[in-house]
Every structure is written in structure tokens, then in C-alpha cells.
Amino acid sequence: MARKRKGNPLHGWLVLDKPGTLTSTQAMAKCRWLCQGEKAGHGGTLDPIATGVLPIAFGEATKTVQYAMDGTKTYRFLLKFGEATDTDDRAGRVIASSDVRPTDEAIEAALERFHGWIEQIPPQYSAIKVEGERAYDLAREGETVALKSRQVRVDSFLLTGRPDRDHAWFEVECGKGTYMRSLARDLAMALGTVGHIGELRRLSVGRFTLDHALTLEQLEQAVAEGDPQRLLLPIETALDQLPELSLTGDEAQKLRQGQSVLLLKRTDLTRLDAVRASVGEDGDAMALASSGGRPVALVRVEGAEIKPVRILHV
């Protein structure tokens, strides 16, 4: 007999303004404890020193986490020139130094190399798995691992401030898997010096922004004042990149039972048009099926056949 989960059956997304004193997993666990949620996950890990947007999924929203992680992200960080650390941020020990300090003009010129699809080597202290072990665990044991470079997408990389010759502020808009610590490290090297991140803040993940975010203190107060469910954004907030497919009650019931739905009538064509416009290279398309304004399932559309991928029990 399956063990019943303890807690409230919450469903939706909470946007936390993560403090720089907790890991993402610790912050998620704290939110789950405060809200007494049955099940929780987070959409996109932040470095321990980083603050800002950490989307926390509760209940059925955990089935949509990958879509939150795939969303475009924006960051602000402070780069300190002249010292490299083993973690590529202020949490690590200094492993190299340089007296070179770049001019604003040199920085602007170097930034042009870091736009579009670029090759990037993740930091030694990262969650990348190497033969089944996390790179940061190997690094803590003193092992130096040759991590493979990967292609990442940088949409925008802007110099936004220069407090003094040792520091510079940047804002970045990028795709999934882009490490700010690697960007900072590689930019400093391209400028003939070394550097690391002194401060890092995530401003947005897809549709999740700081405008929606609560600090842990604000969350604790809000929970004490009422029902935690009212604090959550809808499950579909993470799915804005997917077309929506509206179904009848009978069609929705079939999906909930794990059955496919066929849309063969002439009047069904208009419902399929928006979905077909997003067809991928494999000829299929993903969509969010809904009925009566409520999400039903993540579905794959193959011609006129609607196949359930993840059923949302809300």
C-alpha cells in the first residue's frame, strides 16, 4: 500500500527571491516546510552565493519543471578583476592574480565575442556529472576534472556599470545551461587578466520575474496570514512557450484516463492550426490541453491524434 504524503495538496508555482546564504535545494525545502506542501521541486539551480528568482513548483506543477528550466534567463553580476578563484566566484580560494585592469572600451570590444551560440566550459565546482559523480564533489576532494565544453546561447551581454577599476557590472540574457561564473572567468581572460564573480542575482526565468518574488521572510508572514495556495501562480505559467489546445469535457476525460483523442471533424481544424504552427523537426508538436479554463495534460499532437504525455490532476 502506497504511503500517503504528508502536507497540503498545493498545486502551482511560488517565485522565491533566494537569499545568498542557502543552496537552491535548501531554499526549496524551506519553502515546502513553510507552506506544508506535499511535493515540491525547483526550476533551475542557482549558485549558493546567488540571489534572485528561484521558481518553486508545488504538486502537479513539478511535472512542468523542465519547461521552466528551458526558459530564457536574465542575470546581473559584479565581476572583480585581478583575482581568479577555484570556484570562479567569491566563495572560493584565490588561485591566480593579475595587475591588468581593462578599460571600458576594451570590455565593450571583448563582449562582442560572447554573443550568440558560444563554446563554454563549466566551472570545476558545478553540478555536471563526471562518470556518475558531481564535478563539485570531485573538486572538493582535490581532483581536477577536464570538463567538456558545451554550446550555450547568449542573447545579450551588456556592461552596465563601473564602480571602480577593479569591478564592473554586467547584465546577461541567455538560454538554458549558461554559467555566469564561466562567462565572467572567460571575459576576464579575453581581456588579458583574471577575475571572478563577486555578486550574482537572477532577474528572471521565463515568465517568472522579481515582480512575483517573495523573500523567505515575506513568505513566512504571508503563510501565517492565510492559505498558501493563494500565493501560487498557475501551473501553466511555466508553459507560455507551448500552444494551448482547448478540449471538450468528454475529450478531456479521455485524456485523464490515458487515452488518445482524435480530432477529425472539419470544425476541429481551427483548433489544430495554432498547434501545427509550432511543429518541430520531428513532425510532432507539444501543447497544453485545457478544458473549461483548467489545464488537463501536456500532450503530443501527431497529425489529428492528441496523445497524453503528462496528465495534470488539478
Q: What is the CATH number of the domain that holds 284?
A: 2.30.130.10
In a domain, 248, yes or no: yes
**Are both 159 and 220 inside the same structural domain?**
no
In a domain, 255, yes or no: yes
**Are both 259 and 277 inside the same structural domain?**
yes
Contact (CB, 8 A) for 192 and 81: no
**Are both 280 and 181 inside the same structural domain?**
no
Q: Does the pTM of the predicted model rise above 0.85? A: yes
Of 17, 47, 88, 89, the catalytic one is 47
When pLDDT is averaged across residues 31-49 and rounded to a whole number, the result is 92
Mean pLDDT of the chain: 89
Catalytic residue flag (residue 47)? yes
**Are both 199 and 89 inside the same structural domain?**
yes
How many angstroms separate the CA atoms of 133 and 49, rounded? 22
CATH code (residue 229) = 3.30.2350.10
**Are both 104 and 38 inside the same structural domain?**
no
Query: pLDDT of 97-140, one tens digit each?
Result: 999 999 999 999 999 999 999 999 888 766 666 656 666 666 66
- Of the pLDDT bands very low, low, confident and very high (cuts 50, 70, 90), residue 281 is very low
- Of the pLDDT bands very low, low, confident and very high (cuts 50, 70, 90), residue 183 is very high
Query: Does position 190 have pLDDT exceeding 60, yes or no?
Result: yes
Domain of 97 in residue numbering reads as: 73-205
**Are both 117 and 36 inside the same structural domain?**
no
In a domain, 86, yes or no: yes
**Are both 87 and 121 inside the same structural domain?**
yes
In a domain, 133, yes or no: yes
In a domain, 143, yes or no: yes
pLDDT of residue 135: 62
**Are both 47 and 115 inside the same structural domain?**
no
In a domain, 285, yes or no: yes
Query: Looking at 37-41, 105-109, 121-125, 178-182, which range is the least confident one?
Result: 121-125
In a domain, 1, yes or no: no
Query: Looking at 40-54, 198-212, 284-298, which range is the least confident one?
Result: 284-298
In a domain, 284, yes or no: yes
The fraction of the chain above a pLDDT of 90, given in percent, is 70
**Are both 19 and 49 inside the same structural domain?**
yes
Q: What's the number of domains the chain is made of? A: 3
Alpha helices (H) in 153-230, listed in sequence order: 180-190, 216-225
